[in-house]
Amino acid sequence: MSGKYQNILETIGNTPVVRINKLAPDHVNLFAKIEAFNPLGSVKDRLALGVIEAAEQSGELKPGQTVVEATSGNTGIGLAMVCAQKGYPLVITMADSFSVERRKLMRFLGAKVVLTPAAEKGTGMVRKALELAEKHGWFLTRQFENEANPDIHARTTAQEILRDFDGEKLDYWVTGFGTGGTLNGVGRVLAEHRPETKIVVCEPEGAAMLSSGAAQDRNPDGSAASSHPAFTPHPVQGWTPDFIPKITEDAVNRNQIHEILKIAGPRAMECSRNLARKEGIFVGVSGGATLAGALDVCGRAPVGSTVLCMLPDTAERYLSTPLFGDIEAEMNDEEMEVSLSTPGYHRPNPA
Ligand SMILES: Cc1ncc(COP(=O)(O)O)c(C=O)c1O
């Protein structure tokens, strides 16, 4: 992205669509929309800008008021950027099961991070944010219910896809969901403007809540009243919490989803590694998981089909997680052999 901008927030969105050359079967055209090109490295930069600007416009958020949200990371990082640029204090609640670098990134951007017990899962951190907002009169962004979340995807992500595939085929669009903002906002625009495009949603195999068909208990404000019975913890950070978000359910109820795929954690990680090693595309576990779903679609798709999948964030956010579990800090046998193949500058591994 080149150009001159008045502030960092103007660089959110307009992410590239890149062809997947080696991992895709020959009979289809597979493309990926790489959201790591957003300034803070994830699709959630869009949501952060969308919810803050909608609240400024409605008057719900007052100048200098503290913003609070429950997030597993990327939303907090995006909000921290938006709040830093616009001058709002930010408090994030986050279960202590998520990667340490996410906390540090938010703190580096000036936010306060309040950790909640992992055992209380996603609902615990959401309730903590609610308690804090009520007690202190802070503005709660409610990423899981806030219509400004899907709206910004309808206004930006979806329009970029329409523009990039204008006059071309687009047979399948594949996404995962965290809040469902991407699914809901892009899905409704595609259903209207590209009704031939089949919408495919991926969810974790161990938390196949949509596939289960079981309803989600809700409070009158749309927030989840309890953990969903089909949820078990899964390794795809950023994908679904332990409940079906309202925004996701709304998208499902519109009957615009063609297929729901279950993705196993180890396969998600393998796809993320393959994207890095064979395509030079550096994305997190949810990107690998969505690519896994897209490859399933490709395998069954008619000859000449075009498939687009979403890659939500950068792999750099996962250095301390199992995604990098087999990456050593010291030289492995092959590297040692390379080192020893010339006489100088050999540095043995520490004992
Ligand atoms: C890493 C990652 N992948 C995927 C998603 C899904 O995005 P959305 O909230 O728009 O459903 C998110 C956000 O939750 C995320 O952080």
CA distance 287 to 305: 21
- Looking at residue 20, what is its pLDDT? 98
Angle at 176 between CA 253 and CA 327, to 5 degrees: 165
Of the three residues 80, 114, 140, the one that is the final residue of a domain is 140
Q: How many domains does the structure of the chain reveal?
A: 2
CA-atom Rg of the chain in angstroms: 21
64, two tokens: 């200098």
Whether residues 167 and 307 fall in one domain:
yes
Whether residues 179 and 134 fall in one domain:
no
- Looking at residue 228, what is its pLDDT? 92
**What per-residue string of b and e applies to 257-293 under the rule 16 or more CB within 10 Å gives b?**
beeebebbbebbbebbbbbbeebebbbbbbbbbbbbb
- Looking at residue 201, what is its pLDDT? 98
Q: Which atom of ligand 1 is nearest to the CA of 237?
A: 1
Report the number of secondary-structure helices (H) and strands (E) in the chain: 12, 10
Our answer to whether residue 286 is catalytic in this structure is yes
The residues near 289 (Cβ < 8 Å, ≥ 6 apart) are 176, 202, 204, 236, 239, 263, 265, 267, 268, 271, 272
Spatial strand order in the sheet of 17-19: 17-19, 29-34, 306-311, 172-175, 198-204, 257-263
Whether residues 30 and 60 fall in one domain:
no
- Looking at residue 97, what is its pLDDT? 82
Our answer to whether residue 44 is catalytic in this structure is yes
- Looking at residue 73, what is its pLDDT? 84
Helix H segments across the chain? 44-58, 74-86, 100-108, 121-136, 148-152, 158-164, 181-193, 209-212, 246-253, 265-274, 285-300, 333-340
Top pLDDT among 348 and 156 is at 156
Whether residues 52 and 108 fall in one domain:
yes
CA distance 130 to 96: 18
Q: Is the CB of 172 within 6 Å of ligand 1?
A: no
Q: What is the pTM of this model?
A: 0.95
Whether residues 69 and 215 fall in one domain:
no
Instruction: Give domain status of residue 152, yes or no.
Output: no
Q: What average pLDDT does this structure show over 187-199?
A: 98
Return the minimum-mean-pLDDT range out of 140-154, 219-233, 282-296.
219-233
- Looking at residue 278, what is its pLDDT? 98
Whether residues 131 and 30 fall in one domain:
no
Q: Label residue 330 by pLDDT band (50, 70, 90).
A: very high
Q: Label residue 40 by pLDDT band (50, 70, 90).
A: very high
CA of 73 to the centre of ligand 1 (A): 10
Whether residues 185 and 296 fall in one domain:
yes
Pocket test for ligand 1, best of 182, 201, 282 (most atoms within 8 A of CB): 182
- Looking at residue 98, what is its pLDDT? 78
Q: Can you give the CATH number for the domain in which 286 is found?
A: 3.40.50.1100
Q: Label residue 87 by pLDDT band (50, 70, 90).
A: very high
CA of 348 to the centre of ligand 1 (A): 42
Instruction: Give domain status of residue 337, yes or no.
Output: no
- Looking at residue 195, what is its pLDDT? 97
Residue 38 predicted with pLDDT over 80: yes
Q: Which atom of ligand 1 is nearest to the CA of 149?
A: 10
Whether residues 166 and 23 fall in one domain:
yes
Whether residues 309 and 204 fall in one domain:
yes
Instruction: Give domain status of residue 298, yes or no.
Output: yes
Q: What average pLDDT does this structure show over 108-122?
A: 91
Q: Is the CB of 178 within 6 Å of ligand 1?
A: yes
Of the three residues 90, 108, 140, the one that is the final residue of a domain is 140
Top pLDDT among 239 and 66 is at 66
CA of 145 to the centre of ligand 1 (A): 14
- Looking at residue 268, what is its pLDDT? 97
- Looking at residue 170, what is its pLDDT? 98
Q: Domain containing 113: what range?
A: 44-140
Selected catalytic residue, list 44, 128, 198, 246 = 44
